[in-house]
Structure 1
């Protein structure tokens, strides 16, 4: 009988610790962050390759149409590369903005 109050006290202390841990900040899993970064990298690679592919296709098509094989092909490959790099830079800025917004949001939550 003397053990019953001791168990009840320990049980209440344990419940308080569990509630404190549940209400604490949520910890982001490192693997989720890794997958997110890999997705960003693949997105940027695909954008660059798509730009090159589209430039190659347009250049080859125009060269076949006009009979001037290397001229338009080279010009549009460079234009496709420039477009791909431009798209990659735009995506990088978008991702950086999202990370800064998330960091600012975390700072605002900590400040409250």
Structure 2
């Protein structure tokens, strides 16, 4: 590819000349400044800057502890039930294996419910689309 140069007023392009910035450069610079302003506004909005950042981190750790404890509780209850059934019925290790897997599934479901990925159990809300159309 050939080296493209922009000619100056005389029609010649000098090897080390600086050119005026393109309109694209001006647009990019304007968008960068707008983005900087938006980021600064979000960082300083809400509560005080440093205190808000610390409480956001504490909220994240709290959510992580809550989700992990729900998962561990599901697995532990499943293993405990399986071990108890094995001791009472003499079916070792099948009760432990089955209930450990069931506890794992229950733990995953509890974590997904707490995170809001799966809907909570209970009565369904009526569908708004079907209410208005009575034929």
TM-score relative to the length of structure 2: 0.49
What is the deviation of 1:27?
2.8
**Equivalent residue number for residue 86 of structure 2:** 63
SS in 1 for 2:47: coil
> Are 2:58 and 1:35 equivalent residues in the alignment?
yes
Residues 59-86 of structure 1: per-residue CA shift (max 9 Å, x gap): 0000000111110100000000100000
Distance 1:50 1:26 in 2: 35
Q: Mark the runs of 5 or more structure 1 residues left unpaired by the alignment.
A: 1-24, 95-112
Distance 2:47 2:67 in 1: 28
Q: Which of 1 and 2 has greater Rg?
A: 2
Aligned structure 1 segments of 4 or more residues deviating by more than 3 angstroms: none
More helix by share: 1
Pick 1 or 2: higher relative contact order, CA cutoff 8 A, min separation 6: 1
TM-align CA RMSD: 1.4
What is the deviation of 1:26?
3.6
Residues 16-49 of structure 1: per-residue CA shift (max 9 Å, x gap): xxxxxxxxx6435101000001000000100010
SS in 1 for 2:116: helix
Distance 1:75 1:92 in 2: 26
